[in-house]
Amino acid sequence: MVDHARARRLGERIKVLAAEALERAVKDPDLGFVTFTDVRVTPDLTHAKIYFTVLGSEDDKQLTIDALERNRGRLRGEIGRQLGVRVTPTIELLLDEIPASAGALAELLAEAKRRDEEVERLAKDAKPAGDADPYLKPKAQED
């Protein structure tokens, strides 16, 4: 029987336990500033995808990714010890690309807003190219 709500709750618990295990058990000097953003657990509770972000340059990110991969077994062991389920899910660590794409999207929205303000400013000072009132009016009837 598949219980999606239980998988979601287990994912939230794994996210907290992974952060605690990273702070307590992993003593790797290459580990940068890591934030676990989301955990997706399969409905059968056997596999968990842990998404994370890293603060820093591309070199810092790569060093941190390598350090996390080296310590994946230690993280799984710490999570399994405190999780309290019969089978500890296997974990897969994935770099979360959403913050980077959200930043790019925010920049595009700011650019669109700036252009809209520029168009509005130009429209305010604009004058019609022809007559001020371009609509045809009926001719006045002469008596």
Phi, psi of 51 (to 5 degrees): -95, 140
How many structural domains is the chain composed of?
1
CB 69 within 8 A of CB 93: yes
Domain assignment of residue 121, yes or no: no
Asked if residue 13 belongs to a domain, the reply is yes
pTM score over 0.85: no
- Using an 8 Å Cβ cutoff, are 25 and 78 in contact? yes
Which pLDDT tens digit goes with each residue over 70-114? 888 888 998 888 888 888 899 998 988 877 777 888 888 999 999
Q: Is residue 49 part of a domain?
A: yes
Question: Is 87 contained in some domain?
Answer: yes
**What is the β-pairing status of strands 47-55 and 90-95?**
parallel
Q: Round to whole Å and give the CA distance between 21 and 11.
A: 15
pLDDT of residue 143 exceeding 60 = no
| Torsion from C-alpha of 72, 73, 78, 82, nearest 10 degrees | 100
Is 86 part of a structural domain of the chain?
A: yes
pLDDT at 140 over 90: no
Look up the domain containing 39 and give its range. 4-96
- Give the CATH number, domain containing residue 17: 3.30.300.20
Residue 136 domain-assigned (yes or no): no
